């Protein structure tokens, strides 16, 4: 058995600088959920298939269930809790609500964050590009059509916001 030395984790989570002592084996999802009470990321398949645990690490979608927490050192993490500002949903969340793209809601944080990463890379995706990018997120309620509609709606809202400069 190795002598497991604790590691100092310095990271920025939802805009807030965090310092924590962690064990090397700790997974990002457990640090988020159990230490920081950020329960938006859900543990489900535990093997990078379903996307319910998706968070953005330096803007890239990753499975927090399969990411060692120390990997976030010196980087920025965005969870679904970091999207709303001053009590207002961000435009992707608003699109998901408007399009009724939520049934039980378990997969929603993962879909919303993956949509955010997609729109940062490709602000005007086609329906096929949306299907490809979101293809690794599963909705057990099978509400996919509304989710695709919501991603399209979010892209429209983003374009409108860019036009008005808001």
Q: Which of 44, 48, 76, 103 binds another protein (CB under 8 A)?
A: 48
CA 107 to chain centre: 10
Q: Which of 133, 139, 143, 147 binds another protein (CB under 8 A)?
A: 133
**Binding mask of the shown chain, residues 72 to 111, with x at each position contacting another protein by CB under 8 A:** ----------------------------------------
Q: Which of 13, 41, 61, 95 binds another protein (CB under 8 A)?
A: 61
Between 65 and 95, name the residue whose CB sits nearer to another protein. Answer: 65
Q: Which of 12, 36, 70, 81 binds another protein (CB under 8 A)?
A: 70
């Amino acid at each position: 058995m190795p002598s497991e030395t604790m590691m100092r984790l310095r990271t920025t989570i939802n805009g807030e600088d965090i310092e924590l002592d962690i064990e090397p084996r700790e997974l990002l999802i457990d640090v988020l959920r159990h230490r920081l009470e950020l329960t938006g990321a859900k543990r489900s398949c535990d093997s990078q298939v379903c996307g319910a645990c998706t968070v953005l690490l330096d803007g890239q979608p990753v499975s927090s269930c399969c990411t060692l927490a120390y990997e976030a050192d010196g980087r920025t993490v965005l969870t679904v809790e970091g999207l709303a500002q001053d009590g207002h949903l961000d435009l992707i969340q608003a699109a998901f609500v408007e399009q009724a793209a939520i049934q039980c809601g378990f997969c929603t944080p993962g879909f919303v964050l993956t949509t955010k990463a997609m729109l940062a890379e490709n602000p005007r995706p086609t329906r096929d590009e949306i299907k490809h990018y979101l293809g690794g997120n599963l909705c057990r309620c099978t509400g996919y059509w509304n989710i695709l509609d919501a991603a399209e709606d979010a892209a429209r809202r983003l374009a409108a916001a860019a036009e008005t400069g808001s």
